[in-house]
Each structure stands twice: as structure tokens, then as C-alpha cells.
Structure 1
Amino acid sequence: MALAPSMQVPLIEPHPVELDTELEKSLKTLETFLGLIGFGKHTVFGTAMSWLVFIILAVALPVLSIQIVYCSNCEKYEIKSFELEIMVSQTIDAAISLLCISHIIRKYGVRKMLFVYHCHGHLTQFRNLCLQKIRVFYCLLTSWVVICLILKVAREITRMVHLHHDSWWWSALMLLACIISYTYVTLVFLAGCAVFHLVGNLQVIHFENYAKLLERDLDVSVYIEEHMRLTSYLSKISHRFRVFLLLEFLVVTVSQFMALLQTTGNRGIINFINGGDFAVLSIVQLVGIVLCLNAAAKISHRAQGLGSIASRWHALISCTSNDGSFSAVSDSGGNSDVPFPVRPLSARYSESDLESSEYSQLHMNLQFTSSMSSYQKRQAFVTYVQSNTGGFTIFGWMVDRMLINTIFFIELSLVFFVLGKTITITTR
């Protein structure tokens, strides 16, 4: 008795143990790194210590620095209302990132959050790409934190030179406290955005591997099952990260509007010294939003592109195959009603991902009979993929290119307004 094509070719290929160990070490290193920042503490004591550090570095230290360094007659170099608003904005951004990402890591773990627990054994290339994307995560986070830190240090040194009244040691201590606080807050905020960006990049690998899966001679039910698995991944990602993205979008937009109102409503002179932190904050927030939008765009674009890939695959096979048109395929005994093995196809949603009514569990028992031609199977598969494109959603709103372009240009316009008000060049 001949086996079905889906049973002849295993989806999981043999792989060397060393590469799995390397991927496991990389994931453990990532989990340790996020834990050092304060994400995903699994104990009550660890969570309490994480938030205690956050309160000290993100709230107490900058407030103390503002109160000590403040000069009542130095509005040319420092405006207290500006400093307080900037501190509140960046603290809220970091708090949302710490709260949401920590909740996801505690609930699912790093491996399940990144969706590498099913697929790391599929292909050697997949594991290599996973390691590459994790390295990109570190490079991306480090580069942007360093760039923003350089801008912050330049602004703070300039301000300290003009506001220096006491000893240089005291001024240097206040500068160091300000830099430590800013580095921590920026790192927490951008790390949360970079984590979502990493999740999006890993999903792109899943979609690329799915396109390669079509090159293999498997039963159509296997392709449908794999597509349903990808769709379930998208649903879980949308459900887990939607609150994080929505809150960050709202806070960044409100922060930019407040910065615009503060700078336009102030009648004094605004320059890089007293208003430069608005420019630095705007750049950091824009970078975080772009990272999130880029990941969401990649996920939605690749998911919606599977329909065209399936159509091209169907057309190529139909033009080159000799399987006949719609005739039944009989077995050796002439019985054309012998069915293929039944494959249970179900979307594997966990209970924790079904808290929202927008996701409902799907149970299907799909049985292909030999009286159905290969052409009809492929046509049904293409119709299914085109009707279930999927993508990243926020409470039902599809984050596609149109929405992403709208959000990006609104945020970019606000940032340019703020930069235009704070970065000025005087000729006299």
C-alpha cells in the first residue's frame, strides 16, 4: 500500500545537534539580556525589584536632577515645564514597554513569544536565519541607543556649561545622573519596540519557508494545514502585542502634540539648549514607532502576498502537468472512491489567545477523495489562501500599508514641527 505524499516527505528534517544548541544558547542569552533590563521577571521579588529600579532611574533621579539644577532666572538655558513634560513622556513610554513586554514574556516565555518552538527543526536555513535576526536585534538596539545617547550628551554638556554655578564635580555628578536615567529609559522603550520588530522578522522567515514548501511534492492538505498554522501565529501575535502598539501610538502622538503646543505657546526664546530635549525625545519616539510599523508592515505584506504565490504555483503546475483535466483517478482495482487518509486540520489557538471575541477556534475535518483531480484540489487551495489573507490587526483593524503610511506621516509631520521649533540657527 503506497503512502500518501504528505506521509512520504517529512516536514521536519534531520539537523545537527550543535546548531540547535547554538540557537538555544542565543535564546537564553536574549532572555538574560531582557531580564537585565527588567523584562519578564517570573517571581514576585524579581518583579518588585524591576519596578523599584524603574521608579528610581526613570522617576526619582530625573525629578531630583531637575529640582537641583533648576535656575529661576535662566530660562534661556532651561525651562522647567519643558523638562517635566519631557520626563513624563519618556517615562510613560518606557513604562508601557516594560509592562506589556514583561507580561508577554512571563506568560509565554521567549521561545513561544518568538514562535521558534515549532519551526527550529524544519530546515537548517531557518535556524541560521533565526540566529541572524537575533543578531540584527542587538545591532539595531545598540546603534539607535548610542545615536540618541550622543545627542543627549551633547545637549546636556552644553546646558551644564551655561548653568554651572557650583563646583565642577557637582555638575559632573548631575550630568552623570541625568545620562544614566536617560540611557535606562531609552533602552527600555526601544528594547520593547525592537522585540516586536524581531517577532515580525521571524514571521517573515516563516512566510518565506512556506513559499519554499510549495516547491515540494506534498499533498494539498499539508499546504492548507501549514497555512492555518501561519494564520494562527498571526492571530496570536496580534492578540499579544495589540495593547502595546495601541498605547505606544497614542502616547507618542499625544506627546508630540503637547510638545508642539508647548513650543508654539512659549513667548520666550527657544533654542537647542532649553528645548533640545524635545528634539531628542521626538527622535527616540519616531525610531520606536518606525520599528513597530516596519514589523507590522512586513507581517501584513507577506501574509497578503501568499495568495499570489499560491496562484503562481497553481498556474505553473497546471501548465506543466499531465495529470488530465477533471477525470477520476482509479486504483488498481478500479475503485475510484477510495479516499486519501483523513488529516484533521485545526487552527491551534491556545486558551490564553482566545480571550478576545475576534478569534474563534476552528475545527475542520477535510477529506480529499481520489475522484477529485489534482487540479480541483489546487484550485480549492488557491481559493482558500486568497480568501484568508490575514495580517497584523489591532482590535480588528488591519495594519496594512495605507494605515501605516497615514500613521507614519502624521508622526513625521509632528516631529518636523517640533524640530523646527527647537533646532534654530541664529545669525547674530
Structure 2
Amino acid sequence: MVSSLSIRVPSSAPADYPISYNKLVQLPESVLALIAFFTLFRFFKRYGLRQLLFLDDLQEDSLLIRRGYSRELDKAFRYLAWILFPSFIVEVAHKIIFFSTVKISLPCNVCPGNIPVNPIMFVLVLASWVYRTGVFLLVCVLFRLTCELQILRFEGLHKLFDGCESGAGVIFKEHVRIKKQLSFTSHRYRFFIISCLVTITVSQFGSLWLVLGFNNEKNFFNSGDLVVRGLPF
């Protein structure tokens, strides 16, 4: 927020100045991070991590399902890193161009003139991007984990149908348990999914309008923020 408000555009700046789409990107990213933060806050306050990921209920599952879920847990944060790292490289490249071109103007009583403002703001903006994107993707990873568990349980239920030794009562009990946990998952993530859907849809239409509504040349220099936002989202 400080970065967006303190950037000054020279009067002689060309139409492709890199600030063109910066504020358009910063607002949706911050809104998504805010939604994700309050979602995580509510989750951990009400449920805790074990209940959120249905870890306590795994004792009722077969060894095959427990092993499969353990593998998914191990891979979850690798998925998060695989999404974040390439996007971070592109973000660093764009912000190097951005802060080597723009001028940051802060009040003298806040920041004396002998302090290198641009490098400091560069580091803070990158840290802010990692935090906001990471918080948003963390909720997505948690949602994916709960869905993977239910997929494993559906596969186990399918094997119960195939096995002649399984009674109707066992199959019905397992079906009811899966249905109940799917309902819990749907209700827990409903606010996050709908809010993010609305935010991303509105911001994408806004981006599309700006990109197609003006005839100036679009390149990584002046619209790289849109590229970086599109990579993780």
C-alpha cells in the first residue's frame, strides 16, 4: 500500500511507464490475501489443523488410505513451492525493472533524503508478495488435501463394493461418513471459494478492459504485473 501511494510518475513519462497496471494488480492481490488470512484464522481458531485435515478420523480408514494420505501430505508443500518459486523469479525480474525506473516519494520526516528508499521498498514489496501469495495458496493446498483424502476414501469404498466379504452395513456406514465429511468440507471452504471467485472475476475483467481498451504497446516492462499475477492464480 505504501509503495503504491508513494510512487510518483514524472510528467514526461511515456505511455508505457511501468506503473500502468501496478495499482490494478495490488488491490486484488491484497483482497485475496485478506480473504485467505481470515479463512485460516477462522479455521485454526474453530477446528485446529488435525480436525481441519481429518487426521483424527484416519484411524477408521484402511492402511492403504492412510499411506496414500501420508504421501499427499508430504507432497502438499512441495506443490506450494513449485508454484511460488517460478512466479517469484518473474516477480523479482519485473520489480528490478520497476524500481530502477520509478521514483519513491516519502515525507522528509518519515524518511531522510540520504536513505536509499528504492532498494528498501524493493525488498519490502517482494516480501509482501511472497506473504500474500503464500497465504492464498496455503488455503488452496489445504482444500486440495481434504479433497484428496475423500478421493482416497471413494477408492476404498469402490473396493468394498468389489469385495464379496463386505456387508451392506459396512458399506452404508462408510458412505455416510464420506458424505458427512464432504458436507463439512463444502461448508468450511464455501466463503473462501465464492469470495475469491468474485474477486478474481472482477479483477480479470478490469485487466481485460485496460489491456484491450488502450492502444499503447503491451510488454513486460509496462504490464509485467499482470503476467506475475496470472502465474500463481
Asked if TM exceeds 0.5, the reply is yes
Query: How far apart, CA to CA, are the structure 2 residues paired with 1:213 and 1:180?
Result: 49
1:171 correspondence with 2:109: no
TM-score by length of 2: 0.85
What is the aligned counterpart of 1:208 among 155, 158, 176?
155
1:151 correspondence with 2:151: no
Query: How far apart, CA to CA, are the structure 1 residues paired with 2:200 and 2:133?
Result: 14
Identify the residue that residue 209 of structure 2 maps to in structure 1. 261
Is the partner of 2:59 in helix, strand or coil?
A: coil
Query: How far apart, CA to CA, are the structure 1 residues paired with 2:127 and 2:139?
Result: 19
What is the aligned counterpart of 1:218 among 140, 146, 166?
166
1:64 correspondence with 2:6: no
Query: How far apart, CA to CA, are the structure 2 residues paired with 1:89 and 1:190?
Result: 14
Query: How far apart, CA to CA, are the structure 1 residues paired with 2:49 and 2:122?
Result: 36
From the CA coordinates, give the structure whose radius of gyration is larger: 1
RMSD: 2.3
Query: How far apart, CA to CA, are the structure 1 residues paired with 2:169 and 2:63?
Result: 24
Higher fraction of helix:
2
- Which consecutive residues of structure 1, in runs of 5 or more, have no partner in the other structure? 1-62, 286-428
Which whole-Å deviations, capped at 9, do the CAs of 1:198-236 have from their partners, x for residues lacking one?
111111111122223342613211211111111111111
Identify the residue that residue 219 of structure 2 maps to in structure 1. 271
Which whole-Å deviations, capped at 9, do the CAs of 1:74-120 have from their partners, x for residues lacking one?
3433235x222211110111111111232123212222222232223
Contact 1:121–1:127, Cα closer than 8 Å, also in 2: no
Is the partner of 2:10 in helix, strand or coil?
A: coil
Query: How far apart, CA to CA, are the structure 2 residues paired with 1:229 and 1:179?
Result: 44
Q: CA deviation at 1:164?
A: 6.9
Identify the residue that residue 181 of structure 1 maps to in structure 2. 128
Aligned counterparts, 1:111-126, within 5 A: 111-126=50-65
Identify the residue that residue 17 of structure 2 maps to in structure 1. 77
Residues 1:167 and 1:130: Cα distance change in structure 2 (over 3 Å): farther
TM-score by length of 1: 0.48
Is the partner of 2:231 in helix, strand or coil?
A: helix
- Which consecutive residues of structure 2, in runs of 5 or more, have no partner in the other structure? 105-112
Which whole-Å deviations, capped at 9, do the CAs of 1:309-366 have from their partners, x for residues lacking one?
xxxxxxxxxxxxxxxxxxxxxxxxxxxxxxxxxxxxxxxxxxxxxxxxxxxxxxxxxx
Is the partner of 2:101 in helix, strand or coil?
A: helix
Query: How far apart, CA to CA, are the structure 2 residues paired with 1:249 and 1:93?
Result: 10
2:180 alignment partner AA: S
Q: Which has the higher contact order (CA 8 A, sep 6+)?
A: 2
Number of aligned residues:
222
Query: How far apart, CA to CA, are the structure 1 residues paired with 2:19 and 2:66?
Result: 52
Is the partner of 1:119 in helix, strand or coil?
A: helix
Is the partner of 2:69 in helix, strand or coil?
A: helix
Q: CA deviation at 1:121?
A: 4.9
Q: Identity percentage over the alignment? A: 25
